[in-house]
Amino acid sequence: MTRISVRRFDSTTFSIKRSFKEWRELAIFGGRPAMAEALHVGRPNVGNRARFLQLADRILETRFLTNNGPMVSEFEERIASYVGVRHCIAMCNGTVALEIAIRAAGLTGEVIVPAFTFVATAHALQWQEITPVFCDIDPRTHNLDPRHVERLITPKTTGIVGVHLWGRSCDTEALEEIAKRRGLKLIFDAAHAFGCSNSGQMIGRFGLAEVFSFHATKILNTFEGGAVLTNDDQLAETIRLMKNFGFAGFDNVVHVGTNGKMSEVNAAMGLINLDSFDDFVAASRRNYDAYRQRLETLPGMSLLKYDEGENSNYHYIVVEVDQSKAGLGRDELVEILQAENVLARRYFYPGCHRMEPYRSYYPNAGVLLPETEKLAQRVLLLPNGTSVSPKQIDVVCSILNTAIRNAPSLRRALAARRKNRAKASAVEAVSQ
């Protein structure tokens, strides 16, 4: 048996020593975790802290904390200019931004969405008593399959919400053609896609509107935040009313609304992070290349590729695990990595259609979503961002190498471990 192991290290030393320790010394079997501190998939990127504190001090000095202050206005202008769109309406978070965009666009009845997305995409519809109709994905792109969209349209369908998953664009041309021909509204959830392009045009310019998330885990964050981008003047005006209780002036409410405003301190964080955005992308690209170099020789580990001809933010390190080739399943690898303090994740497991309330509403939805079902069992996300170094990536990939190269023995050991734990739980239950 080949014996490959990972050197254990403290928080200041990340070099790898290739020794002949056995796979039995992995943390899941009692060894010391490889990472002294947890290595997260989405640890926030943070720009110039000194500049942020200057802006925060200005906010406190002027006491202009919210209600569309100067920093929110500057943030909106800079985002709109960066993307090349007429209107950017900043919001308190991406989910509220999506909810308001959906309502402002007049969507009702049924709206077609992917099931392979963060559940907020579906919730933004269901919250407003609009039925999300789950559509299957193209296994090559992980995005909506336009052929399947066409089949799901009924007289109750009023729109389509596409998701630019991992920052890779939907087939916007095909979806726009379907929407125009069938008289549907088309909105895009672009939560992953700030700084990305499609056919040379920046994402944020497609459909009736596009919605960004600036949550802490995104490539660009405002602590918490989001925005709607659109070239539709009337829609932008309606959204601005709706995110501020419908107020037009100090005491004139002209539209139903809610409180979706972004605060000044959130905008300040966005501004300093915009200044550092190119550095964030460069770090993510560096890390992506490090993963690619290390993983390309591992059987059953297929790293998602980004189009070199487009702008990409490289924020997501997405691996599809083929158990038949890797010898271990995705969930087993997650278990092994997490024991090492590498907090790898299963996105977007198990799919919106298998979460509540949707699994109760549509218990057999999976039959119509075969590609979604398969992908939900295969996708593994690995840590990335400015807080992740190439040396840490070397450790992560060495753990995966150790696991896959010793897959048969590891599978038996993991099965025995699960069996022993089940017995111990049964004994404990009886004793109580």
- Lowest-confidence region among 32-46, 357-371, 394-408, 415-429: 415-429
Residue 53 in this model has a pLDDT that exceeds 80: yes
C-alpha of 12 from chain center = 29
Mean pLDDT across 338-358:
97
Strands (E), 97-223: 110-114, 131-135, 157-163, 185-189, 197-198, 201-202, 209-213
Point out the least confidently predicted range of 184-198, 202-216, 387-401, 415-429.
Answer: 415-429
Tens digit of each residue's pLDDT (9 = 90 or more) over 266-292: 999 999 999 999 999 999 999 999 999
Res 61 pLDDT > 90: yes
What pLDDT does residue 432 have?
67
Closest CA to 270 of 238, 305, 227: 227
Mean pLDDT lowest among 148-152, 217-221, 417-421: 417-421
Phi-psi map region of 398: left, alpha, beta (phi>0 left; psi -120 to 50 alpha)? alpha
Give the residue carrying structure tokens 């070099």.
Answer: 15
pLDDT value at residue 7: 37
The share of the chain scoring above pLDDT 90, in percent, equals 90
Q: Does residue 138 contact residue 144 with C-beta atoms inside 8 Å? A: yes
Cα–Cα distance for residue pair 319/308, rounded to 1 Å: 18
Which of 16-30, 135-149, 225-239 comes out lowest in average pLDDT?
Answer: 16-30
Quickly list DSSP for 39-87: EESSPPP---HHHHHHHHHHHHHHT--SSS-HHHHHHHHHHHHHHT-SE
Superfamily for the 23-41+277-344+383-425 domain: Aspartate Aminotransferase, domain 1 (3.90.1150.10)
Mean pLDDT of the 177-195 span: 98
Q: What is the pLDDT of residue 417?
A: 86
Q: Are 270 and 220 in contact (CB under 8 A)?
A: yes
**Average pLDDT along the chain:** 93
Q: What pLDDT is recorded for position 19?
A: 35
Helix (H) / strand (E) element for 431: namely: helix 407-431
Q: Topology of 49-275 in CATH?
A: Aspartate Aminotransferase; domain 2 (3.40.640)
Flag whether pLDDT at 317 surpasses 70.
Answer: yes
pLDDT computed for residue 16 by the predictor: 40
Burial class (CB in 10 A: 0-12, 13-18, 19+), 429: exposed
pLDDT at 4: 32
420/402 Cα distance (integer angstroms) = 23
Q: For position 23, what pLDDT does the model report?
A: 84
Domains of the chain: which residue ranges?
Answer: 23-41+277-344+383-425, 49-275
Residue 383 pLDDT > 70, yes or no? yes
**Between β-strands 185-189 and 157-163, what pairing exists: parallel, antiparallel or unpaired?**
parallel
Nearest CA to 157 out of 189, 182, 129 is that of: 182
Is the preceding peptide bond at 139 cis, omega within 30 degrees of 0?
A: no
Please check whether residue 299 is in contact with residue 321, taking contact to mean a CB–CB distance below 8 angstroms. no
Nearest to 365 by CA among 163, 154, 132, 189: 132
Judged against a pLDDT cut of 50, whether residue 3 lies above it is answered with no
Determine the pLDDT at residue 418. 86
